[in-house]
Amino acid sequence: MGKYDPLRAYLRRKRGEPLELSFDDLERILHALLPKGAQHHDWWSNDVADDAKTVQHRAWLDAGYEATLLSGERVSFRRRSPPA
Protein backbone atom coordinates (compact mmCIF):
# COMPACT_ATOMS: atom_id res chain seq x y z
CA MET A 1 0.00 0.00 0.00
CA GLY A 2 1.37 3.40 -0.98
CA LYS A 3 1.54 6.39 1.33
CA TYR A 4 -1.18 8.31 -0.58
CA ASP A 5 -3.53 5.37 -1.21
CA PRO A 6 -5.68 6.33 1.82
CA LEU A 7 -6.22 9.78 0.28
CA ARG A 8 -7.26 8.22 -3.05
CA ALA A 9 -9.72 5.93 -1.25
CA TYR A 10 -11.09 8.80 0.85
CA LEU A 11 -11.70 10.97 -2.21
CA ARG A 12 -13.35 8.12 -4.12
CA ARG A 13 -15.79 7.62 -1.25
CA LYS A 14 -16.79 11.30 -1.52
CA ARG A 15 -18.18 10.67 -5.03
CA GLY A 16 -17.14 13.99 -6.49
CA GLU A 17 -18.19 16.27 -3.65
CA PRO A 18 -16.10 19.46 -3.45
CA LEU A 19 -13.95 19.31 -0.33
CA GLU A 20 -11.70 21.60 1.65
CA LEU A 21 -9.28 19.81 3.98
CA SER A 22 -6.65 21.14 6.33
CA PHE A 23 -3.16 19.69 6.47
CA ASP A 24 -4.18 18.16 9.82
CA ASP A 25 -7.19 16.50 8.15
CA LEU A 26 -4.96 15.15 5.38
CA GLU A 27 -2.41 13.82 7.87
CA ARG A 28 -5.19 12.02 9.75
CA ILE A 29 -6.40 10.45 6.51
CA LEU A 30 -2.85 9.44 5.56
CA HIS A 31 -1.79 8.37 9.06
CA ALA A 32 1.43 10.21 8.23
CA LEU A 33 2.85 13.71 8.08
CA LEU A 34 2.86 15.65 4.84
CA PRO A 35 6.33 16.59 3.62
CA LYS A 36 7.59 20.18 3.86
CA GLY A 37 7.13 20.48 0.10
CA ALA A 38 3.35 20.33 0.58
CA GLN A 39 3.50 23.98 1.66
CA HIS A 40 4.23 24.96 -1.97
CA HIS A 41 1.67 25.28 -4.77
CA ASP A 42 3.76 23.15 -7.15
CA TRP A 43 3.37 20.13 -4.88
CA TRP A 44 -0.40 20.31 -5.46
CA SER A 45 -0.17 20.92 -9.22
CA ASN A 46 -2.71 19.19 -11.45
CA ASP A 47 -1.06 19.95 -14.79
CA VAL A 48 1.67 17.34 -14.64
CA ALA A 49 2.86 15.25 -17.57
CA ASP A 50 2.06 11.56 -17.12
CA ASP A 51 5.73 10.65 -16.83
CA ALA A 52 6.25 13.33 -14.16
CA LYS A 53 3.26 12.50 -11.95
CA THR A 54 4.26 11.58 -8.43
CA VAL A 55 2.40 9.36 -6.03
CA GLN A 56 0.54 12.30 -4.48
CA HIS A 57 -0.60 13.61 -7.90
CA ARG A 58 -1.88 10.18 -8.84
CA ALA A 59 -3.86 9.91 -5.59
CA TRP A 60 -6.20 12.82 -6.26
CA LEU A 61 -6.12 12.70 -10.07
CA ASP A 62 -6.98 8.97 -10.14
CA ALA A 63 -9.86 9.70 -7.76
CA GLY A 64 -11.17 12.28 -10.23
CA TYR A 65 -10.17 15.43 -8.37
CA GLU A 66 -7.97 18.46 -8.83
CA ALA A 67 -6.20 19.96 -5.82
CA THR A 68 -5.53 23.60 -5.05
CA LEU A 69 -3.42 24.82 -2.15
CA LEU A 70 -5.24 27.53 -0.24
CA SER A 71 -3.92 29.81 2.47
CA GLY A 72 -3.57 28.57 6.03
CA GLU A 73 -2.44 25.05 5.13
CA ARG A 74 -5.76 24.13 3.54
CA VAL A 75 -6.37 22.30 0.27
CA SER A 76 -9.43 22.42 -1.96
CA PHE A 77 -10.35 19.28 -3.90
CA ARG A 78 -12.78 19.74 -6.79
CA ARG A 79 -14.11 17.24 -9.30
CA ARG A 80 -12.14 17.27 -12.56
CA SER A 81 -13.88 18.26 -15.75
CA PRO A 82 -14.25 15.37 -18.16
CA PRO A 83 -11.86 15.45 -21.12
CA ALA A 84 -13.18 17.31 -24.16
CA–CA separation, 31 and 58 (whole Å): 18
pTM of the model: 0.87
pLDDT score for 22 = 98
- What is the Rg, in whole angstroms, of the alpha carbon atoms belonging to the chain? 12
Return all residues near 83 (Cβ < 8 A) that are at least 6 apart: none
CA–CA separation, 55 and 52 (whole Å): 10
Beta bridge partners, 74, equal 22, 70
pLDDT score for 84 = 45
pLDDT means over runs of 10, the chain (84 residues)? 92 91 98 95 82 82 94 94 58
pLDDT score for 16 = 79
CA–CA separation, 10 and 31 (whole Å): 12
pLDDT score for 8 = 95
pLDDT score for 15 = 83
